[in-house]
Amino acid sequence: MHEAAMELHPPPAIFGFSGEQTSAAVNPSGDQTIEGVSFEGSQSGPFNGALSCLLLLLSSFSHCQAQLSPTFYDKTCPNALNIIRTAIRQAVSRERRMAASLLRLHFHDCFVQGCDASILLDESPTIESEKTALPNLASARGYDVIESVKLELEKACPGIVSCADVLTVAARDATAAVGGLSWTVKLGRRDSTTASRTIAGTDLPSPFANLDTLISSFASKGLNTRDMVALSGAHTLGQAQCFLFRDRIYGNRTDIDAGFANTRRRRCPKDTGNGNLAPLDVVTPNSFDNNYYKNLLQKKGLLQSDQVLFSGGATDSIVSEYARSPQAFQADFASAMIKMSEIQPLTGQNGIIRKVCGALN
């Protein structure tokens, strides 16, 4: 979750779910796709469903009108998903590390004001860019990839596909491009007209966080402990800067393998080399698999916030399960990504569709 300042920086009571539960089920066709299924209350018939929507309409007109849907662009930009998928595959093919960068960009977007593409906005007289917040400064990357995808979408269907949706789908496609499952993404997010450097500086979990802090931080975004452990598995990809793990490898701690610490010291001196990079998963740093969890069992978590997941606490059993079962990890990761991607989206008449992701129209 930290590249440079975490390649993937994962991670409100529940923002944007409206009592809705999102579950994930493996597509029975075996096509390696996770489909998000929503359950809202009881299994009512068409009349009751329409009546419920009418009642909600009286108090919240936009709620019934502006739900996210996987078919949102089917008529207005039918080739949108193909355009995004092709561009992301090409970007990851050029640089495998880009998969981790795009995942991290999506995480950092959703944890600040919800999934609204606020992280993509450049500094301006009216915008305090999140790009210069400490967790993103000189570490968040992939902005150019998102802009290039948006450019192609604007050629195909101007003013239709939001940057927030591009970023959400890009994270899914980047995961699939390096060996992860795919999953169904609900679409229809709109783009913010604001950004918050302050929230970006406070709401993104620290690489030095203890377990209770991580659990609380994720819970504040509507993500439970299992979601947190699954999303942390994104650290099977990417790299972290030396200054983020220096204390861990030089601290003579009991929660780190001595040989692993010695190896990491070679590229991370005590007093220099703050920006030197090390892979978060030393075994398969460019493949989306469950080796991250196997590393934790061996006390080879690079960051403090990694190893605390397996340190005699409440999440040990989940880490052990994911280390044993790559299928369980992949399915839970997809489910957690679906939940995260639906944190506080702007829909309906809220927000805008930016023409360029880095600027307001």
Q: What is the pLDDT of residues 59-86, one digit of tens each?
A: 333 343 358 999 999 999 999 999 999 9
- Give start and end residues of each alpha helix (H) in 111-183: 143-156, 163-177
Return the C-alpha torsion angle 90, 95, 169, 230, nearest 10: 140
Over the stretch 245-287, which tens digit does the pLDDT of each residue have? 999 999 989 999 999 999 999 999 999 999 999 999 999 999 9
Pick the range with the lowest mean pLDDT from 1-5, 155-159, 318-322, 338-342.
1-5
pLDDT at 66: 54
Measured between alpha carbons, how far is 46 from 356 in angstroms, rounded to an integer? 40
pLDDT at 40: 30
Given a cut of 80, whether residue 170 has pLDDT beyond it is: yes
pLDDT at 252: 84
Residue positions annotated with a catalytic role: 108
Over the stretch 110-158, which tens digit does the pLDDT of each residue have? 999 999 999 999 999 999 999 999 999 989 999 999 999 999 999 999 9
Is the pTM here over 0.85, yes or no? no
Given a cut of 70, whether residue 22 has pLDDT beyond it is: no
pLDDT at 14: 27
Given a cut of 80, whether residue 197 has pLDDT beyond it is: yes
Given a cut of 70, whether residue 224 has pLDDT beyond it is: yes
- Taking phi over 0 as left and psi of -120 to 50 as alpha, with beta for the rest, 105 belongs to alpha
Phi, psi angles (nearest 5°) of residue 81: -65, -35
